[in-house]
Amino acid sequence: MSLSDIQNHISSAVSKANRKLDTVRLIAVSKMQPNERVASVLDQGHRYFGENRVQEAASKWPDFRKIYGKVSVDLIGPLQTNKVRQAMELFQAIHTVDRLKLANTIARIAQEIGSCPQLFVQVNTGEEPQKAGIFPGETDGFIASCRALDLPIAGLMCIPPVDEEPSLHFALLAKIAERNNLSGLSMGMSGDFESAIALGATHVRVGSAIFGARP
């Protein structure tokens, strides 16, 4: 598929759900993709991307921004505390706030530099031991702790288990967000972004369906 195919699929999913098109943002996940493919999507006018490694993004986006101007790039992968400062300078949003130590570090640096990217709390909806994220039962308390640190929490993010029906996880994430008065829902990837939109996704993270398989 191409960028415009995905945009068309998003449009129809949005209208089927009786939602407005400007309530869903397409994050083109460019991790590990060759620069020519990323440049082609930039050439088509798209300006919203996602990366899952700080180092990789730092080696790529300052150069693209010199050519294409303002491009929004979000971090959708794990963040180590020693990379927080660099991440806060590079990214417009961080979708993977998943522990208190990280929240504390972000809060300290935000006070120091006077700004902070948009933040999403990553929820481990499937309670998978190998996966990052706050367990559903601990999420309300974690959001409260983040708010006590004055962090700008925009919403929640999840990556459903590969072998389960994703819509159950999307519905759970939406429920936790609603009871915490959070409007942002970062959910849905190449295989399931349409059902994520039906369940309220505001940020869909689509990689291989736009760029092709990662080499």
List residues near ligand PLP by CB under 6 A. Answer: 29, 31, 52, 76-77, 159, 189-190, 205-209
> Quick one: 40 or 208, whose CB is closer to ligand PLP?
208
> For residue 154, which of 199, 197, 96 has the smallest C-alpha distance?
96
Beta pairing class for 93-97 and 72-75: parallel
Residue number, 136 or 207, with CB nearest to ligand PLP = 207
> Which tokens hold the place of 143?
């959001």
Q: Is 168 exposed, middle or buried (0-12, 13-18, 19+ CB in 10 A)?
A: middle
Q: Least separation, in Å, of the C-beta of 77 and ligand PLP? A: 6
Q: How far is the CB of 150 from ligand PLP (least distance, A)?
A: 26
CA 70 to chain centre: 18
Separation of first and last alpha carbons in the chain: 16
Q: Report the residue number, 77 or 149, with the smaller CB distance to ligand PLP.
A: 77
| Of residues 1 and 149, the one with the C-beta less far from ligand PLP | 1
Ranked by CB distance to ligand PLP, the top (closest) residue is 207
CB of 108 to ligand PLP, least distance (A): 25
Query: Least distance (Å) from ligand PLP to the CB of residue 194?
Result: 13
Q: Scanning the structure block, which residue is given the tokens 């990217």?
A: 117
